[in-house]
Amino acid sequence: MDPEDDTLTTSVSKGVFVFKPTSKKRKCILNSGDYFQKHPKEHQKCSQLRNETYTDLWEEMEEDIESLKYDTNRKLLDDLMKFMKNCHSSRISDDGTSHTGGRLELPTAALVTGVNVPDHSSIFKSLVSMFKMDISPHVIRLTGKQSSSLKSLMSSVVGQFIGEEDAMSSEEEEGGETTVDVKKIPCTFQVLSSWYEDTFKPVARTKDKQSDEESAALGSPSLIIIFEDIEGFVPHILQDFIKIASQYLSRLPLTFVFGIATAVTAIHRILPQSISSLLSIEKFQAPHSSISLNQLISKIFLTPKYPFKLGAKVFLLLLDLFLYHDFSFTNFVKGIKFSMIEHFFNQPLSFLCCNFEEAADCVKAMSHDQLELCRQLKSFRRYVENQAPKEQRALLLDDKHTKGVIQDLLEVIHEYHSNFYPVLLCLHQITNELPQSPLGKKLRELYAMTLEGNIVEQEGYKQAISLVRLFAREELICHLEACIRILDKEEGILEEVCSELVEYKQTIEGLAESAHLPAKTQAVNGKEESTEEQHPSNTATTGKVTLHSLQQKLMVDAKKKKELTQYEVVRQDVIEYLQKVFRKILIIPHSLTLHEVFYFDNVYEVRQHLHASPRAAIQTALTNPYVYLQNEACKIEADSVTGSLPDICIVYKLHLEYGRLINLYDWLQAFVTVVTGQLPHEEEEKQKKGKGGKGKEKTNKETDIDPELHARFIRAVSELQFLGFIKPTKQKTDHVQRLTWGGC
């Protein structure tokens, strides 16, 4: 503060005066769109536009995916809800005894979820929310990790049930499960029963005027326990838990839900007959994840609604990860989302990946730099090379003309998407039931073939068409009706195709029974027969038949063209017309200009992030730590070893020089040599000179090494053992065994 401003702080009493700074320094707040700014020279509006396009597209796509998941599991959820509502009301009377007069059994829903383990958490999370909304507010989830002992299992059950009321507000804020301090109370079913009676029995008595169902729902809610992975529980602990729970069923309305990944027989493998007889089990089968996958592909990729598409390599990679690794619908959706992020982040023209009306407006607002990026695309360069010289100059130099051409090319791609998928469905409808399935039984298989190359040029397509030529009359009519239903509501060229198929269908249906006779016999003089056709039969009856003459006759008959019936002629015309449509519309997407704007096919990035190889990554980090650390001290040649490397990298590189067995002391000596830069005996001589040569020499070799270096070596060796490169062995004293061979 300047001395001249002392008058501003003059006061009778002492005080603190605050002066606001004249220059305001605003904090730089980044939003998600700023992260899309890949190059410093790129305008901020462009990155913001790409981010907004991606956000809008993904939100709409995610909404459809969630509705698809709900529709797929609707029947399962409805059946489970019905079972939960009726499992106690139909079996227990007002005094807590069974209506049948027999022993009470624990109502148990055996939910076969399948081997898609990554999806199970979302399934059970939705079950918990539905149960809490419609059945009972008291629902807990248990996993196999909590079954290490009966005490820990009971602690989790009692803690979640009793502590959920007090922890309701904290659960909403933190989103996690909080429980009471179970160390202060005994975790037994007796405590849980007392808590239930104190909490709900008085409420139930005040509801005498209500109906029995309302009283059961409001006054005595069920206690639902969900065992997410029944195969992961310790069998004898689970058996004891069920045995104890069955003794309290008259006082506690317990309901179990067993999550099973394999089959219902897993319950009988884990529980003996004496325990399983205490359960009233009803099976519920979750739909297979491949069903959801097929519906997802049809709803997301086989529709012009979403302009973003996956290339052949990325699509096949995601399919392989699904079919051969985890069957996880959730991971497949994550792969789609990652591919979208990569596409919109790395492709500067991805803001055009939207519906045609918005894309046309974006093209009008494109700058010269953005047009230059468009001119650098391979597909656009190929398009320019096929034009006349005058048109080439206009496309490369005239921005206004280029914008008009880009709009036309974008319209072609959107029209291609509108026509491609209905025609692909028609081809699948015709060929999915053919013998040996040359084009696959699933629509996703045919879609993958069309992404890889022109389907009409593939061997499977030619084989399928040869089988289609053998369709019977009723079979062909059935397939034509299916294609007409697919193309019924389409417009443009597909409307013309639909009308042509309708005419062919009416022609086939209108054929008389005489259509199955040769066309030549349908003439007016149909009774006249060729003398050439009668001659062989006459000679066969009168003349002597020899092997040579019979062979000649068969060869002549084989060369004669078989006369086609009316149906065969129409069938051939139908197939030729369909082939013409397939050849025109089902072209490979990469042959289109500006396909890079809509199709993402960077399979390397997807494989690196979603299907990484842990061993290769670990070996790369150990041999060349600069890749991950970006430290100049670690930037060395691949075969060299220096003390500037991390200890585990030094130990790893040294162990590559040994054979199957490694002497720990020799390994330690080499480590000390690399770290200190001198041999161990030189270090020992220095220590002796420092002591003046007095005292006896140490007899223990390891005591000559610095304890700090010794500890660092032991820690590095332990880390290598944890990573699986070495293991202890009893073949030789002070040796370890090497487990891996070869480089990274």
279: left (phi over 0), alpha (psi -120 to 50) or beta: beta
Q: Give the pLDDT confidence score for residue 201 in this predicted structure.
A: 65
Q: Give the pLDDT confidence score for residue 534 in this predicted structure.
A: 43
Q: Give the pLDDT confidence score for residue 199 in this predicted structure.
A: 82
Rounded CA Rg of the chain: 39
> What is the distance between the alpha carbons of residues 206 and 196, in angstroms, rounded to a whole number?
16
- Count of C-beta atoms within a 10 Å radius of residue 639: 9
Residues 6+ apart with CB under 8 A from 647: 671, 675, 712, 713, 715, 716
Q: Give the pLDDT confidence score for residue 26 in this predicted structure.
A: 55
> What is the distance between the alpha carbons of residues 172 and 183, in angstroms, rounded to a whole number?
24
The strand pairing partners of 164, in sequence order, are: none
Cβ proximity of 225 and 140 under 8 Å: yes
Residue 92 DSSP one-character state: B
Residues 6+ apart with CB under 8 A from 463: 438
Residue 629, token pair as written in the block: 């650390």
Give the closest residue to 599 by CA, choosing from 365, 301, 292, 293: 301
> What is the distance between the alpha carbons of residues 159 and 191, in angstroms, rounded to a whole number?
11
Cβ proximity of 248 and 155 under 8 Å: no
> What is the distance between the alpha carbons of residues 29 and 383, in angstroms, rounded to a whole number?
43
> What is the distance between the alpha carbons of residues 253 and 238, in angstroms, rounded to a whole number?
19
> What is the distance between the alpha carbons of residues 56 and 541, in angstroms, rounded to a whole number?
83
Q: Give the pLDDT confidence score for residue 742 in this predicted structure.
A: 66
Helix axis angle for 235-247 and 189-205, nearest 10°, is: 40
> What is the distance between the alpha carbons of residues 439 and 445, in angstroms, rounded to a whole number?
7
Residue 731 DSSP one-character state: S
Residue 555, token pair as written in the block: 């060869």
Whether pTM > 0.85 for this model: the answer is: no
Q: Give the pLDDT confidence score for residue 677 in this predicted structure.
A: 80
Q: Give the pLDDT confidence score for residue 493 in this predicted structure.
A: 92
Q: Give the pLDDT confidence score for residue 619 in this predicted structure.
A: 87
Give the closest residue to 713 by CA, choosing from 692, 697, 690, 736: 736
HEC per residue, 133-188: HHCCCCEEEECHHHHCCHHHHHHHHHHHHHHCCCCHHHHHHHCCCCCCCHHHCCCC
Running along the chain, 744 residues long, what does each successive block of 10 average in pLDDT? 50 55 55 62 75 93 92 89 80 46 79 89 88 90 88 90 54 42 73 87 50 48 91 93 92 92 91 92 91 93 94 95 92 95 92 93 91 94 94 94 95 95 95 91 94 93 93 93 92 92 92 51 41 43 70 76 82 94 94 95 90 84 88 81 89 90 91 82 57 46 74 93 90 88 60
> What is the distance between the alpha carbons of residues 171 and 140, in angstroms, rounded to a whole number?
13
The residue behind tokens 């690399």 is 674
Backbone angles phi, psi at 227, to 5 degrees: -95, 105
Backbone angles phi, psi at 727, to 5 degrees: -150, 155
> What is the distance between the alpha carbons of residues 338 and 330, in angstroms, rounded to a whole number?
12
